[in-house]
Structure 1
Amino acid sequence: MKVEENLIDIQEWTETTIETTIKVNPQFQIWLITNGQLDLLVNGTRSRLRSGMALILDRGQIVKVEPKGEPFRLVVISVEPFDLFSPSLAELYVTPHAETSRSKVLHPGEPGDKPVLDIIDKVIRSLKKKSSFALLDASLQLAVIWRYWIQQPQSRTKHHVQERMRLMLAYIHDHDTMKLTLEDIAATGGLSRAECCRYFTKWGDTSPLAYVQNVRMHRAARLVEESKEPIADLAHRLGYTSVSHFVQSFKKVHAVTPLAYRKRQT
């Protein structure tokens, strides 16, 4: 659900709709599990969110969902903190914290976390109302969450470490129709091949080339679902010279052939 020209974005994801590629969150985000549980890698650290728990993320954090095949429901709220305040207040309370590097898990059993979780729930309920004041109410509540957030300690993760990983991820996503090599990816991050592999192992629990394959297959799934093009044409568009290789790669990630996947979506 998009709210008022993307001022606040709220989405609901389940085990069948969430992507398992490594994500760099583009805005300040709040992830709330409303049912089930979800395993994540957040900046190289494993976390498990159970129903009622939440994850708060600064912009630019590196996250990978690790599905376990169990049902869950996740609500994700995205907002640009500068939009929550007047310019003068934003200069005081947003600008000094815009380049921080933090993530925090909130647990309903923790006394200090419970009030924040209650406010997150109010934000979601406000945005789902058909009231003319829904956006105002949600914005005021998010401003309170931001006040809480900027008082939290910063992570010790070095920005240049995250930046190298972000550069390599961006390069892969921008060139997902090309046959990338380990040398290509490592050079983008200014790393050796061995260092590049260590980065992907820590931040995504995968290898660079396995991640390339995963990204290509997620894009393939979107094309298969949204396009009526023959599977062979889609394979060639994604840089595969062998259709059978494309079908085998697709099935390895999505457990069904491209044609079966397309039929399942209709």
Structure 2
Amino acid sequence: MQIKDFRIDQSLRELTEHRTVVLPIACYETTINQNINGYIPLHWHDEFQFVLVVKGEAIFQINEENVSIQEGEGLFINSGYLHMAKEKNNSGCVYICLNVSPSFVLSQELYTIYVNPYIQATNISYIRLVSKEFWAKNILESILQINQLINQKPRYYEMDISVHLTLIWKNLIENGIQLEYEQVEVVKNQRMKQMLNWIHQHYAEKVLLEDIARAGQISRSECCRYFKRILKKTPMKYVTDYRIQKSLILLQQFEANVTDVAYRVGFNSTSYFIDKFRKTINMTPLAYKNKYKNNSTLER
């Protein structure tokens, strides 16, 4: 299953339900350039995420860090961390994505000892999985096995998945990372989510830098430093990009008018909207609308 349009709430929390019929997990293949945005937009979720790149190469951003993952390599992304993904060098990147509820990884009795400390640790936003490391190779192989089990659904496959998840977690904690806990990092992560949450609630209105900073309870200069460090862009550039992102969905509606869409997502000038849209999407809003309409006609 390919998720082409990530549904997220105002705080960037992903709303996709990550579960099979009976298990609190989801495993699917994702082709990055087939997403509605052409990339996997910034989001977060409570589930652990395990990634295995099966074709091409991708750049994953987890909070303020970028990591390049090549074919055959993978990634563990911890619960609650902001992350996004773009393909690298037009490689047509495809990856297997395994999302699993932390409470399902181990039994309740073992969760407190072996799982929760990793969620609370502030030095593990992600762990790179490279097959030359024995423990990482075991995790990557289990991701493949889980993907096959979900697709084929042999008898007792749910129990086989549970066994593989236990093996995945055992190998992950055997890699020897020393856990650290810094309250400052917890506060930074929370402030960033608060500012993003405010933007996503008010993007269609007039947005000022001081409003964003106030949402995070920090100064305007500190707000700019947060965005440049974590998102590699200014707060107002993020607002513009988010408005463009929201406009894509509106432009796919048959009755959509470019001027109306521009004002609905917060632009007060149609020409400015067209200019920013062209620079971001490499085509005008009208060209995008017509391209989507033609593609939809061909798919029928």
TM-score w.r.t. structure 1 length? 0.87
Give the residue type in structure 2 aligned to 1:214. Answer: D
> Which residue of the other structure, out of 168, 178, 190, is the alignment partner of 1:153?
178
Shift in CA distance, 199/92, structure 1 to aligned 2, threshold 3 Å: same
SS class of match (2:58) = strand
How many angstroms apart in 2 are the aligned matches of 1:128 and 1:139? 15
Structure 1, 129-138 or 73-82: larger mean CA deviation: 129-138
**Cα distance, 1:160 vs structure 2:** 1.4
Q: Percent of counterpart pairs with the same letter?
A: 27
**Cα distance, 1:175 vs structure 2:** 2.2
* 2:56 is aligned with 1:36: yes
* 2:245 is aligned with 1:224: no
Aligned pairs (5 A) from 1:106-125:
106-125=129-148
In structure 2, the gaps of 5 or more residues are: 2-18
Q: Residue 258 of structure 1 aligns with which residue?
A: 285
Q: Residue 77 of structure 1 aligns with which residue?
A: 98
> Which residue of the other structure, out of 228, 233, 244, is the alignment partner of 1:201?
228
Q: Residue 54 of structure 1 aligns with which residue?
A: 74
Residues 20 and 67 in structure 1, CA contact (< 8 A), matched pair in contact too: no
- Superposed CA RMSD in Å reads 2.5
Shift in CA distance, 14/67, structure 1 to aligned 2, threshold 3 Å: closer
Give the residue type in structure 2 aligned to 1:40. Answer: F
SS class of match (2:134) = coil
**Cα distance, 1:85 vs structure 2:** 4.1
Give the residue type in structure 2 aligned to 1:242. Answer: S
Which string of whole-angstrom CA distances, capped at 9 and with x for unpartnered residues, describes residues 174-215 of structure 1? Answer: 222122111111122222111111111111111111111111
**Cα distance, 1:256 vs structure 2:** 1.4
How many angstroms apart in 2 are the aligned matches of 1:202 and 1:67? 21
Aligned pairs (5 A) from 1:90-129:
90-101=111-122, 102=124, 103-129=126-152
Residues 39 and 87 in structure 2, CA contact (< 8 A), matched pair in contact too: no
Structure 1, 76-85 or 60-69: larger mean CA deviation: 60-69
Residues 105 and 162 in structure 2, CA contact (< 8 A), matched pair in contact too: yes
* 2:24 is aligned with 1:7: yes
In structure 1, the gaps of 5 or more residues are: none
